[in-house]
C-alpha cells in the first residue's frame, strides 16, 4: 500500500543513496587533486590577511548586524 501511495519512493531512495555516494566520490577525488597540487614544490600559498583586511571584514559584519537589528525593530521597513 505504501508503494501505491508514494509511487517510486523506493527507487528514489536508492537513487538518492547512489547520488550521495557519487557526491562523496567527487569530493574525495577533488580533495586528492587539490592536495597533490599543493604538495608541488612550486606551489605558491596565498598571502595572509593583513590588518586592513580584518578591519574591512569586521566593518562589513558590524554594518550587517546593525541593518538586521534595524529591520527587526521596525526602523527599516
Q: Give the number of C-alpha atoms closer than 13 A to the C-alpha of residue 22, restricted to the C-beta side.
A: 6
Fill in the DSSP letter of residue 8: S
CA distance 7 to 4: 5
Sites in the chain below the pLDDT cut of 50 = 1-3
DSSP state of 70: H
- Say what the pTM is: 0.50
Q: What is the pLDDT of residue 1?
A: 47
pLDDT at residue 30, rounded to an integer: 96
Q: Which residue has the cell 593583513?
A: 50
For the chain, the structural domain boundaries read 1-45, 47-77
> What is residue 74's predicted lDDT score, i.e. its pLDDT?
93
Amino acid at each position: 500500500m505504501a508503494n501505491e501511495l508514494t509511487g517510486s519512493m523506493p527507487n528514489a531512495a536508492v537513487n538518492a543513496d547512489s547520488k550521495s555516494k557519487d557526491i562523496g566520490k567527487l569530493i574525495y577525488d577533488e580533495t586528492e587533486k587539490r592536495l597533490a597540487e599543493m604538495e608541488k614544490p612550486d606551489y605558491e600559498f596565498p598571502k595572509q590577511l593583513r590588518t586592513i583586511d580584518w578591519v574591512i571584514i569586521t566593518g562589513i559584519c558590524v554594518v550587517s548586524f546593525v541593518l538586521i537589528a534595524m529591520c527587526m525593530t521596525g526602523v527599516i521597513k
